[in-house]
Amino acid sequence: MKRNSKYRKSKVSIIILVVSLVLLSIFLRLFQKENREIHFIDEIAPLAVELNQQTGGVLPSITIAQAILESNYGKSELAIKANNLFGLKGSYKGKSVKMQTMEYKNNKRYTIETEFRAYPDLKSAFIDHTKLILEGTSWNKHQYYDVLAAANYQEAAHALKKNHYSTDPMYPEKLIAIIEQYNLGEYDN
């Protein structure tokens, strides 16, 4: 009887140890992931703030949230291969990469292959993104006027969708959620 009791206690101790190790492993992975995300924000926030101060243009919270969303914290293939954190299509000084992307039409998602701008570094990507929002597109110089006129990040996020920056029907909500999750609105002050 005592032998069964010791065996049960040993078995329970082993199970508790294994469960503890599994939970510790999960916690560490989540902590490392969040640290990578915070590190990415810390890396790009000064660029967003600097460009906003120089141009009076795009709210830093919006720029940072777009970079996070469009590049998956700088880990997307487009970000890695082309320093393109904003999903900007076309070419930059004659440089581009061809990649697949998800688009939406009538709330239906589909995949296309298209050319994306390839930048020599992240700062060039930020400058080009700011220039696009400030100067509009070749076919509409006032394309993103509503983004620039927005009083806050919520208005700016909805203006990006209204002004066709993204085809994703949930784009404003995704940007706002990122801004609020990381308290990015503090960069706007």
Provide the CATH number for the domain around residue 132.
1.10.530.10
Residue 54: predicted pLDDT: 93
If we measure between CA atoms, which residue out of 189, 184, 149 comes closest to residue 44?
A: 184
Element housing 46 (H / E) = helix 2-55
Q: How far is CA 13 from CA 3, 4, 8, 16, 27, in A?
A: 15, 14, 8, 5, 21
Q: 31 pLDDT exceeds 60? A: no
> Is residue 45 a contact partner of residue 85, using CB atoms and an 8 Å limit?
no
* Burial class of residue 145 (count of CB atoms within 10 Å of its CB; 0-12, 13-18, 19+): middle
State pTM to two decimals: 0.81
Mean pLDDT of 99-123: 90
* Confidence category of residue 5, pLDDT binned at 50, 70, 90: low
Residue 37, pLDDT above cutoff 60: yes
Rounded to an integer, the average pLDDT of 117-142 is 96
How confident is the model at residue 105, as a pLDDT? 86
pLDDT-derived band at 68 (thresholds 50, 70, 90) equals very high
Q: How far apart, in whole angstroms, are the C-alpha atoms of residue 48 and residue 52? A: 6
Task: Give the pLDDT band of residue 102 (cuts 50, 70, 90).
Answer: confident
Q: In the prediction, which pLDDT does 104 show? A: 83
pLDDT at 6: 65
Terminal C-alpha separation, the chain: 71
Place of tokens 């914290």: 73
In the predicted structure, residue 24 carries a pLDDT above the cut 80: no
Q: How confident is the model at residue 106 (pLDDT cuts 50, 70, 90)?
A: confident
Confidence of residue 22 (pLDDT cuts 50, 70, 90): low
- Rounded percentage of the chain residues whose pLDDT exceeds 90: 72
Looking at residue 66, its pLDDT comes to 98
Q: Pick the more confident residue, 28 or 146.
A: 146
Helix, strand, or coil (residue 182): coil
Q: Is the dihedral of CA 71, 179, 46, 37 positive or negative?
A: negative
CA 145, CA 143: separation in Å to the nearest integer?
6
CA distance linking residue 160 with residue 91, whole number of Å: 21
Tokens of 14: 């082993």
Enclosing domain of residue 80: 2-188
Tally the domains of the chain. 1
Instruction: Kindly state the tokens that stand for 183.
Output: 């308290």
- Residues 58, 62, 64, 70: is their CA dihedral positive or negative? negative
| pLDDT range class, residue 103, cuts 50, 70, 90 | confident
